[in-house]
Amino acid sequence: MLRLGDKIWNYTPEPNDRIIAISGHLLRQSVMGSDLSYEDMTENHKLRELYDAEVTGEDEIDGRPCWVVDLAAKTKDVTYHTRKIWVDQERWLPLKEERYAKSGRLLKTTTITEAFRVSGRWYPKRMIFKDMLQRGEGTEFIIESIDFDVEIPDHMLTKAALRK
C-alpha cells in the first residue's frame, strides 16, 4: 500500500498482479475484510492539527494509570468528529481509543493489549481494532518488529516500486 498525499494505491500480487487506486468513498471501505478502513490504515496527520484536545479525567486500563483525553474536530472534513483516548501516564502510549461520528454514535474502538520498547520509546505490539457497526470480534494487528529513522530512497515511494 502506498499513500502520497490524498492518493492511495494498493498492490495485489495474486492472482492479477495489479495496482488499484483507492480514492473518494473507497477510503472508508474495509481493507481486505478487516475492521480497518484504508483511511484508518494510512492516517498520517498529527492529531493536534485536526483536533482540539482536553484532558477530562483519569482512569485505569489493565492496572495502568491513564489520562482520559477528549478530542474535538477543528474542521468538518475529518473522518471522526470526536475521539476519546486513554493515555498511559508512564509510557505515554494510548492504550484505548474510541472514535465517534458527529451524531455521537461510537464507530470504532482500538485497544492495545501488548506493548514493547523500541529505541527508548514504548510502541504498540498487539492491538484489536473493532468496527462497532460490524459483527465479529474485531481485527487483531500485530507488529513483530519496527525500525525508526531508516533512510528510504525516494524511488521506493513510487507506484512502480509497489510491484518490486
- Residues 96-139: tens digit of each pLDDT: 999 999 999 999 999 999 999 988 889 999 999 999 988 889 98
Same domain, residue pair 12 and 87: no
Contact status, residue 129 vs residue 108, Cβ threshold 8 Å: yes
Q: What is the pLDDT of residues 59-79, one digit of tens each?
A: 999 999 999 999 999 988 888
Same domain, residue pair 25 and 52: no
Lowest mean pLDDT segment, chosen from 20-29, 67-76, 144-153, 154-163: 20-29
Same domain, residue pair 62 and 140: yes
5 vs 66, residue with greater confidence: 66
Block residue for cell numbers 525508526: 148
Same domain, residue pair 34 and 99: no
Same domain, residue pair 59 and 133: yes
For the beta carbon of residue 66, count every other beta carbon within 10 angstroms.
22
Tell me the average pLDDT across 17-34. Answer: 68
What is this structure's pTM? Answer: 0.79
Handedness of CA 139, 144, 147, 152 (dihedral sign): negative
pLDDT beyond 70 at 92: yes
pLDDT for 41:
63
How many structural domains is the chain composed of?
Answer: 2
Banded model confidence at residue 155, pLDDT cuts 50, 70, 90: confident
CA 88 to chain CA centroid, nearest Å = 17
Contact status, residue 10 vs residue 19, Cβ threshold 8 Å: yes
∠ Cα 25 26 32 (to 5°): 150
Contact status, residue 76 vs residue 82, Cβ threshold 8 Å: no
113 located within any domain: yes
What is the residue range of 31's domain?
1-44
Same domain, residue pair 65 and 103: yes
Contacts for 5 with CB less than 8 Å, ≥ 6 apart: none
Same domain, residue pair 58 and 36: no
CA distance 35 to 108: 8
User: What CATH code is carried by the domain that includes residue 133?
Assistant: 2.50.20.10
Same domain, residue pair 69 and 114: yes
